[in-house]
Amino acid sequence: MKRFIILGVSICLFSGVAHAASGRHGEKTSVIAEAERHVAATLPDPHGATFRNVSVHSMDATSVVCGEMAPHDTPAGGTFMKFGYVQGQDDPVVFSGREVPQKVEFNEVNSWLNDSIKLEDLEEMGCVPRGTYHSYNERLNKVMSQRKQFGVN
């Protein structure tokens, strides 16, 4: 009789733990789906987005989703853009992943600076390793300092 009672208690405890774990998995899955929906909306064709390396972590009592995204028609070996999404917000952070070129044209300066800021945001969100922004920004500043402005230099 003792065995049956112990078996019954064990089964109840195990099912409670399994149910709690599946509840957390369900929450995680819904946060990822929410993030992917918001991130895909930044593309011209939101239905064609491809995601990889998606993960969730907690920060300041909320969930942050990090990962990589590419348009559906990205060629093999193409660039995946890094993204970060804070649960409940409408605007995800999407970094293009472009390599800093040898030369930045005058009309592209703002685009490069804005992209740099997005990488800084991703670092603060924990979506890229510490130092990533600093390294990228140093390369960008070096190129920017060498560019000709209005035909001068």
For the segment 112-135, what is each residue's pLDDT rounded down to a tens digit?
999 999 999 999 999 999 999 999
Q: Rounded to a whole number, what is the distance in angstroms from the first to the last CA of the chain?
A: 92
Q: Are 85 and 39 in contact (CB under 8 A)?
A: yes
Q: Which two tokens stand for residue 50?
A: 């491809």
What pTM does this model have?
0.74
Q: What is the mean pLDDT of residues 65-70?
A: 95
- Nearest to residue 84, comparing CAs of 132, 32, 46? 32
